[in-house]
């Protein structure tokens, strides 16, 4: 072992330094900023620690690896995604109300970073599960109530799986944002919803 002796007595500036929960929040928040700013590849744990005014060691004491840190940050942002779903009176209005905030988030810097991280890391499963459960919610989420109302109004064709519609809408947004690099305008979102509700075949 034979460690080298310590330096004389480095002065500490610990006056009022926060501990516990505040540290956790600060680090996770900075992690999201860092992800949005420089992406998953350019993210440096040491820089996050510095910007959270915390030592690198303290970060590693909470999240054993960099992957764990990213995963925790993602869970945080997704958990805050409890969409309030008003009844707009039509299926079209309801779908737009459901998809618009999601699309806006995915199109933002943070959203794209989250998406990249979710797809790149092996924690993808956990992240996707959280997101899906938030929206689908096993019969009690916003998607389920949307479908229930549409069926009552006679706007839902038999045999269409709700999760298929949702996955297709979100997938289209992902394709638009990550591969086409196109803007997600209200106009574009409207065409997307029209496509899904009316289909390509003439009526």
Partner DNA sequence: GAGCGATTGCAACGACGGGTTGCAATGAAA
Partner DNA sequence: TTTCATTGCAACCCGTCGTTGCAATCGCTC
Tokens linked to 60: 């590693």
20 vs 86 by CB, closer to DNA: 20
Stretch that binds a copy of itself, among 11-19, 27-35, 50-58, 150-158 (CB under 8 A): 150-158
Residue with token string 């540290």: 23
> Within 21-80, which residues bind a copy of itself (CB under 8 A)?
39-41
Longest CA–CA span in the chain (Å) reads 83
Find out whether 53 and 26 touch, Cβ atoms under 8 Å.
Answer: yes
Least separation in angstroms between residue 10's CB and a copy of itself is 35
In this structure, the dihedral spanned by the alpha carbons of residues 10, 19, 55 and 15, taken in order and rounded to 10 degrees, is -30
Report if residue 45 touches DNA, rule: CB under 7 A: yes
Find out whether 77 and 109 touch, Cβ atoms under 8 Å.
Answer: no
50 vs 163 by CB, closer to a copy of itself: 163
Report if residue 43 touches DNA, rule: CB under 7 A: yes
Cα 125 to chain centroid distance, Å, stands at 13
Report if residue 4 touches DNA, rule: CB under 7 A: yes
Report if residue 179 touches DNA, rule: CB under 7 A: no
Stretch that binds DNA, among 64-72, 122-130, 134-142, 190-198 (CB under 7 A): 64-72
Give helix 109-120 / helix 91-107 axis angle, nearest 10°: 80
∠ CA 189-116-188 to the nearest 5 degrees? Answer: 10
Contacting residues toward a copy of itself, per CB under 8 A: 39-41, 91, 115-116, 118-121, 124-125, 128, 131-132, 150, 154-158, 160-161, 164-165, 167-168, 170-176, 178-181, 191-192, 195-203
């Amino acid at each position: 072992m034979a460690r080298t002796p310590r330096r004389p007595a480095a002065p500490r500036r610990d006056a009022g330094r926060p501990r516990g929960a505040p540290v956790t929040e600060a680090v996770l928040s900075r992690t999201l900023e860092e992800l949005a700013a420089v992406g998953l590849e350019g993210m440096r744990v040491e820089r996050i620690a510095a910007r959270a005014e915390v030592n690198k060691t303290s970060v590693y004491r909470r999240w054993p690896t960099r992957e764990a840190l990213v995963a925790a940050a993602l869970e945080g942002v997704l958990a805050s995604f409890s969409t309030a779903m008003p009844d707009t009176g039509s299926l079209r209005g309801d779908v737009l109300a459901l998809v618009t905030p999601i699309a806006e988030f995915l199109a933002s810097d943070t959203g794209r970073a989250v998406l990249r991280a979710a797809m790149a890391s092996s924690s993808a499963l956990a992240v996707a599960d959280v997101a899906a459960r938030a929206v689908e919610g096993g019969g009690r989420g916003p998607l389920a109530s949307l479908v229930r109302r549409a069926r009552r109004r006679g706007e839902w064709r038999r045999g269409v799986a709700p999760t298929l519609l949702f996955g297709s809408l979100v997938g289209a947004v992902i394709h638009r944002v990550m591969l086409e690099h196109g803007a997600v305008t209200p106009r574009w979102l409207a065409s997307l919803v029209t496509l899904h509700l009316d289909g390509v075949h003439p009526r």
